[in-house]
Amino acid sequence: MHLQTEQLGAAQTERCPTLVLGLGNILLRDEGVGVRVIEAMDHLALPPHVELFDGATAGLDLLDVLADRRRVIVVDAIDGAYEPGTVVRLGSEDLAPSACPNVSMHEVGFTEALTAARHLGVEPEEVVVIGVAPHDLRSGLELSPDIARILPKIIALVLMEME
């Protein structure tokens, strides 16, 4: 099983150089797309240098999880002027808080954790975000049919980023 089950903040002796981090709130349907991608990928045979992590809505608690990684691939619902179901790839240059203050739909989000890691000198070498524009943010545990339909496409993009 690739899904990390340690509590956030727990010290790790060995870190996989590549982290696939799923973010989101599964109680708000498509807002949980990142977590649902991690759950689906947990059943795949992944290289030993790749770790999957369900970051939910952890915000700054992700600092320890991000620290000293070579590559971090984040999957999250994104806020913006995108049509529902649009999937975008953002690089480190796109994630500066001043350049893109509302990329994540969480109040204290991934960009703040990344900024903190940068200030502490433990920033990942490379960060890629696979962002998905949500279709339905109402209460519910299942992805909307439109987002569920593109889940294989999102996973394929994550796998391509691992290469």
pLDDT for res 101: 46
- CA atoms within 13 A of residue 41's CA, in its CB half-sphere: 31
The percent of residues above 70 in pLDDT, for the chain, comes to 83
- CA atoms within 13 A of residue 20's CA, in its CB half-sphere: 31
Distance CA 129, CA 136 (A): 20
The percent of residues above 90 in pLDDT, for the chain, comes to 67
pLDDT for res 58: 86
CA diameter of the chain: 42
Coil, strand or helix at 142: coil
* Residue scoring higher pLDDT (118 or 102): 118
- Mean pLDDT of all residues in 35-45: 97
- Find, among 87, 65, 74, 64, the residue nearest to 134 by Cα: 87
- Find, among 13, 89, 2, 69, the residue nearest to 41 by Cα: 2
Does 21 score more than 70 pLDDT?
A: yes
Poorest-confidence range of 17-26, 45-54, 112-121, 146-155?
A: 112-121
- The mean pLDDT value of the chain amounts to 86
Q: Which amino acid is at 159?
A: L
Domains and CATH numbers, the chain: 18-162 (3.40.50.1450)
- Mean pLDDT of all residues in 112-131: 91
- The terminus-to-terminus CA distance of the chain in angstroms comes to 20
Residue 162 CB neighbours (<10 A): 14
Distance CA 106, CA 25 (A): 9
Coil, strand or helix at 5: coil
Which residue reads 């030993």 in tokens? 48
